[in-house]
Structure 1
Amino acid sequence: MHLTDLFESTVNRSSNQYAIFQGDKCYTFSEINEKANRAASSMQRLGVGKQDRIMVLLKNRVENIVLFWAAQKIGAIYVPINLRMSLEYIQYCINDVEAKMIIFEEASRYLLKPDHLKHKPIIVSLQGIADLSYEELVKNNSLSFNIPRKNADDLSTILYTSGTTGKPKGVPRSHKNEYASTMAHIVQNRYVVQDSTLGAVPLYHTMGLRSLLSMAILDGECHTMLDFDPVEASEIISKQRISCLYLLPTMYHDLIYRSKIENLDVSSVRVLTFAGAPMSKEIIEKCNEIFKPQEFINHYGSTEIYTFTTSNNVKNKPWSAGKPGIHQNIRLVAINKQGKSNPSDVVNDGEVGEIIVNINSAEAFKGYWNRPDVTNHAINGGWYYTGDLGKLDEKGDLTVVGRVDEMILSNSENIHPQEIETFLSNHPLVKEAAVIGEKDERFGQIVVAFIVPEKNNVTVQDLDQYCKESSSLSNDTRPRKYIFISEIPLNRAGKVDRLGLVQGRYAEVE
């Protein structure tokens, strides 16, 4: 289960096969391995030891991938950072993880403030002034280094969450976690040997790592992108005959509406997978029309536990997150906004409950880095509390209906925004919908629906009548106010920015 053993097996099998593509350059498994060995030798000579943290402030580039493998080879911990986090958050992460080495590029130079650090890491730059350069690391004449004793429970990576609800949280993930998650990803997505994928999701995200590692195990190709550009991405997919896409819904949206992908040959794409947020029925239909995939899969999970559930029935049940992954066990428990419910307090089928996931899975972390308080809040009795709300249908398929902290309380009734959003989105004249709660003296809160119309002739009366005729919406659940807007604001994770809606960050349409 140690990642270096898996990678070296691939190098031995397919040394001269191309592994990484970046722009007009390509690198074989042997070339990546040699650069990683030289970097590993240099790092060890500089004093980087087993379980020391190597922080990476880089985009999705070949240097980033070389450093990932170099860290694994000497038993160090790879810590990639989201370059879009604030300077304050990044300084917090550097100090929190006590990075032994930090590697940056010109685009991330401004994020590194050595005077603000509590310790003195080794600073490595791809360009410019630092303690040493990346080229010095990989041009080292020595390929030898001491291989530490391997243990599958040693940490491989620490991934930091975005910090949207407070300081970023470090999520330590072991070699066993990364191996199990990647093998589950391969099986659940029906990948095959020598597949190829688009490395568009950054490596600081678990989706980005899964794209890299799955191709490394399968002797496949990973076509990396420094920044996601839909036009460039569509051209890579067509020209390089990409077989598998694993992207955020926003990326699929941009591929469809901000490129000319409909005019390109994308018949090579066999598997489409999305994660990170729900995908609208319109995007699903357009993806089916353009790509005609053999497999269309919804992956529902988190950084802490890679897989919760997966659905390979997106075409017929686009709202469904499916059934537990191959390593997983989930439950839906009674909602308690003041604290954690008991893991045994399971709701009945068809009832809404908080989704909890067993942490005995090989994919699951054991707790947050330096944050026992947050760990105790998230884990109870061997179960990870996701904060998501869901319900199971008669076939045992999960539907995610919202967040515990987004639940609307109107006239003493618990209302789940995503459930109403799904219903409204099924109206033929509605392109997208988002729902929030607004304070109300009489009811406590009322439901407010933000509508992106498919055509401008949809009216409040049309939608209100549509809701009244539904047997699934009560009077309290039915929206009391409709606001027509040009597009739904999204946060950095590609999810509905409900706070933005509350604060008026949207453009109304006539």
Structure 2
Amino acid sequence: MYLTQSLQRSLQQSPDHTATVFGERRRTFRQFADRVARLAGALQRLGMAGGDRVGMLALNSDRYLEYVMGVWWGGGVLNPVNVRWSVAEIVYSLDDCDTGILIVDDQFLPMIDAIRSKAARAPVFIHAGEQTTPPGVLSFEQLIAEGPAIADAGRGGEDLACIMYTGGTTGFPKGVMQSHRNLWSAGMQRMTEMPPLRGGSNLHIAPFFHIAGLARAVVQFLGGETHAIVAAFEPELVLRTIERERINETLMVPTMIQMLLAHPDFARYDLSSLTRMAYGASPSAGAMIEEVRAKLPWVELSHSYGLTEACPIVSTNPPENHSAEAIASGLSKSVGRSCVGVSVKIVDEQGEELPRGHVGEITVQGANIMQGYWNKPEETAKALRNGWLHTGDGGYVDEQGYLFIVDRIKDMIVSGGENVYSAEVENVILRHPSVAMCAVIGIPHAQWGEAVHAVVVRKPGCELSEDDIRLHCREYIAGYKCPKTVEFRETMPLSGAGKILKRELRDPHWVAEQGKTR
């Protein structure tokens, strides 16, 4: 259970197979492993000892994967920095886990001076990019060229592999401690449910600083597959890369898939090589599933549910549950059944297990569950209770063991004493042919406590009114669940992983009404 073993295996069995593709740059596993070993040697020369943290503030690239494997090869611990953060948030994460080395790409070179001046211990900065390396900053390429190719440190098991900071939507970010065993187990659990495509090529779109992106990379390394990478999600770049590199599989969140399908040049590209598309991070995907089936009928869809604290896998809904029959039966709305080695239990507020079909908090147990939160024993104790991770997600399990997400516990809307689950309302709104994206939130209401409020992005060129949304919803759901108010926007606030930031939509309403956030 050490994460570099997968690279050792590819180096032994398929050294000349393409490991990474980024733009016009291609490297074999032999070339990739040599660079990893040299980067590890250079990091050790800079002072990285066993268990020391090394950060990276960068968009996706082949160098990012070299950072991941290079730090592990040298015995260090990753601190992948959220690229959407402010300098203050970045510095907090660096200081919190005492990160001594920070790698930055071209995009974030302008932030170096501010980070250096504000950090409690200014890290050693390394520039990994195409621009000229500025004074006072080390060159990633020069370090690799001059670094000794060292032997693999072989850290594994319960050794810490990564500290991945949560988004910081409430208070300060929490550093999720993920061991080699945690990440290795999650990768194997995922592969058990969806075996790798031998010789396949995966397109990395999800950011590597996010667990979805990092875990996907771990799975591809375990499978010995090619890693094709785009720096960030741009619909036309993704379409062009799938066609050019004959990509077989990828992972996206529903918002990305919707933007891809809606691109005006979608039909111009040859996507026939694409056989699998995994999605996650949102239970509101009903309309997206139907559109993928219409436009890419040969593609196998699978849905995964997870969270950073589970590294991230909890359950998987396989391709057979995305058929017309599964859509009609409602099974496509499930996030599947728990993966091999993962146990799921639905509990009430006292932690007692609830009967099948009853909504409660989802709790999870398995070898993939985090060690805890870095330097936050109280937060760890709240999340890990009696050997179970309390996710904060609301859901239920049916008689066949299928898990259904109804909402984040904190996102559930209580209107006039009735519980309204935003995911259910979002699924209905997204079925409207003129809706590109939507989010449903609870806002203050004098009579009902909370009212259902929908934020909607129209598809280009479409006309859509507040009454249109209400009438559409009344065809499918009870009146108390229908939006009382509708707000139209040109864009949605998105996280670096493409998730809609509901708190940014919700907070202005609650601050204006009560002077506080919900």
Structure 1 and Structure 2 fold alike (TM over 0.5): yes
Indicate yes or no: 2:360 matched with 1:353. Answer: yes
- Separation in structure 1 between the aligned mates of residue 179 and residue 336 of structure 2, nearest angstrom: 27
CA RMSD in angstroms, aligned pairs only: 2.6
The residue identity in structure 1 corresponding to 2:34 is E
- Separation in structure 2 between the aligned mates of residue 45 and residue 327 of structure 1, nearest angstrom: 39
In the alignment, which of 328, 340, 351 is matched to residue 326 of structure 1? 340
Q: Unpaired segments of 5 or more residues in structure 1?
A: 335-340, 505-510
In the alignment, which of 124, 142, 145 is matched to residue 139 of structure 1? 145
The residue identity in structure 1 corresponding to 2:119 is L
Indicate yes or no: 2:498 matched with 1:494. Answer: yes
Indicate yes or no: 2:482 matched with 1:479. Answer: yes
Q: Cα–Cα, structure 1 residues 428 and 259, in superposed 2: closer, same or farther, change >3 Å?
A: closer
Match of 2:213 in 1: 208
Q: Is the 8 A contact 1:451 1:482 kept in 2?
A: no
Match of 1:6 in 2: 6
| SS of residue paired to 1:329 | strand
Q: Is the 8 A contact 2:284 2:424 kept in 1?
A: no
The residue identity in structure 1 corresponding to 2:136 is A
Q: Cα–Cα, structure 1 residues 439 and 60, in superposed 2: closer, same or farther, change >3 Å?
A: closer
Question: Deviations 1:185-212 (Å, cap 9, x if unpaired)?
Answer: 2232342221111112111111212332
- Separation in structure 2 between the aligned mates of residue 227 and residue 451 of structure 1, nearest angstrom: 24
Note the C-alpha offset of 1:452. Answer: 5.8
Note the C-alpha offset of 1:430. Answer: 6.3
**TM-score between the two structures when normalised by the length of structure 2:** 0.87
Note the C-alpha offset of 1:282. Answer: 2.7
Q: Cα–Cα, structure 1 residues 461 and 347, in superposed 2: closer, same or farther, change >3 Å?
A: same
The residue identity in structure 1 corresponding to 2:363 is I
- Separation in structure 1 between the aligned mates of residue 400 and residue 486 of structure 2, nearest angstrom: 36
Q: Cα–Cα, structure 1 residues 281 and 73, in superposed 2: closer, same or farther, change >3 Å?
A: same
Q: Which deviates more from structure 2 when the two are superposed, residues 436-445 or residues 380-389? A: 436-445
Q: Is the 8 A contact 1:277 1:494 kept in 2?
A: no
- Separation in structure 2 between the aligned mates of residue 76 and residue 462 of structure 1, nearest angstrom: 52
Match of 1:508 in 2: none
The residue identity in structure 2 corresponding to 1:347 is L
Indicate yes or no: 2:379 matched with 1:374. Answer: yes
Q: Is the 8 A contact 1:357 1:386 kept in 2?
A: yes
Indicate yes or no: 2:130 matched with 1:125. Answer: no
- Separation in structure 2 between the aligned mates of residue 78 and residue 239 of structure 1, nearest angstrom: 32
Number of equivalent positions: 491
Note the C-alpha offset of 1:488. Answer: 7.0
Q: Is the 8 A contact 1:185 1:210 kept in 2?
A: no
| SS of residue paired to 2:34 | helix
| SS of residue paired to 1:27 | strand
Q: Which deviates more from structure 2 when the two are superposed, residues 233-242 or residues 179-188? A: 179-188
Note the C-alpha offset of 1:381. Answer: 1.5
Where does 1:224-373 land on structure 2 (aligned, <5 Å)? 224-258=229-263, 260-305=265-310, 306-312=312-318, 313-315=321-323, 316=326, 317-334=331-348, 341-343=349-351, 345-358=352-365, 361-373=366-378
- Separation in structure 2 between the aligned mates of residue 431 and residue 118 of structure 1, nearest angstrom: 44
Equivalent pairs: percent with the same residue? 27
Q: Cα–Cα, structure 1 residues 414 and 183, in superposed 2: closer, same or farther, change >3 Å?
A: same
Match of 1:338 in 2: none
The residue identity in structure 2 corresponding to 1:34 is D
Q: Cα–Cα, structure 1 residues 367 and 456, in superposed 2: closer, same or farther, change >3 Å?
A: same
Q: Cα–Cα, structure 1 residues 111 and 164, in superposed 2: closer, same or farther, change >3 Å?
A: farther
Q: Is the 8 A contact 1:197 1:223 kept in 2?
A: yes
Indicate yes or no: 2:191 matched with 1:175. Answer: no
Question: Deviations 1:246-288 (Å, cap 9, x if unpaired)?
Answer: 1122221222123523222211111110011234333222222
- Separation in structure 2 between the aligned mates of residue 261 and residue 195 of structure 1, nearest angstrom: 23
Q: Cα–Cα, structure 1 residues 452 and 229, in superposed 2: closer, same or farther, change >3 Å?
A: closer
Match of 1:54 in 2: 54
- Separation in structure 2 between the aligned mates of residue 488 and residue 38 of structure 1, nearest angstrom: 43
Q: Cα–Cα, structure 1 residues 74 and 278, in superposed 2: closer, same or farther, change >3 Å?
A: same
Q: Cα–Cα, structure 1 residues 367 and 260, in superposed 2: closer, same or farther, change >3 Å?
A: same
Question: Deviations 1:296-347 (Å, cap 9, x if unpaired)?
Answer: 111110111011211111342332111111121111122xxxxxx333x122
| SS of residue paired to 1:357 | strand
Question: Deviations 1:390-446 (Å, cap 9, x if unpaired)?
Answer: 123343322211121122222333332222333454567766654332323332223
Q: Is the 8 A contact 1:182 1:213 kept in 2?
A: yes
Match of 2:427 in 1: 422
The residue identity in structure 2 corresponding to 1:227 is A
| SS of residue paired to 1:309 | strand
- Separation in structure 1 between the aligned mates of residue 443 and residue 102 of structure 2, nearest angstrom: 45
The residue identity in structure 2 corresponding to 1:53 is R
- Separation in structure 2 between the aligned mates of residue 431 and residue 68 of structure 1, nearest angstrom: 35
Indicate yes or no: 2:194 matched with 1:189. Answer: yes
The residue identity in structure 1 corresponding to 2:52 is D
Q: Unpaired segments of 5 or more residues in structure 2?
A: 510-518
Note the C-alpha offset of 1:294. Answer: 4.8
The residue identity in structure 1 corresponding to 2:322 is V
Match of 2:400 in 1: 395
| SS of residue paired to 2:342 | coil
Note the C-alpha offset of 1:120. Answer: 4.3
- Separation in structure 2 between the aligned mates of residue 132 and residue 216 of structure 1, nearest angstrom: 28
More contact order relative to length (CA 8 Å, sep ≥ 6): 2
Q: Which deviates more from structure 2 when the two are superposed, residues 431-440 or residues 192-201? A: 431-440
Where does 1:152-167 land on structure 2 (aligned, <5 Å)? 152-167=157-172
**TM-score between the two structures when normalised by the length of structure 1:** 0.89
Q: Cα–Cα, structure 1 residues 396 and 124, in superposed 2: closer, same or farther, change >3 Å?
A: same
The residue identity in structure 2 corresponding to 1:498 is K
Q: Which deviates more from structure 2 when the two are superposed, residues 250-259 or residues 454-463? A: 454-463
Where does 1:38-49 land on structure 2 (aligned, <5 Å)? 38-49=38-49
- Separation in structure 2 between the aligned mates of residue 232 and residue 40 of structure 1, nearest angstrom: 32
Note the C-alpha offset of 1:149. Answer: 5.8
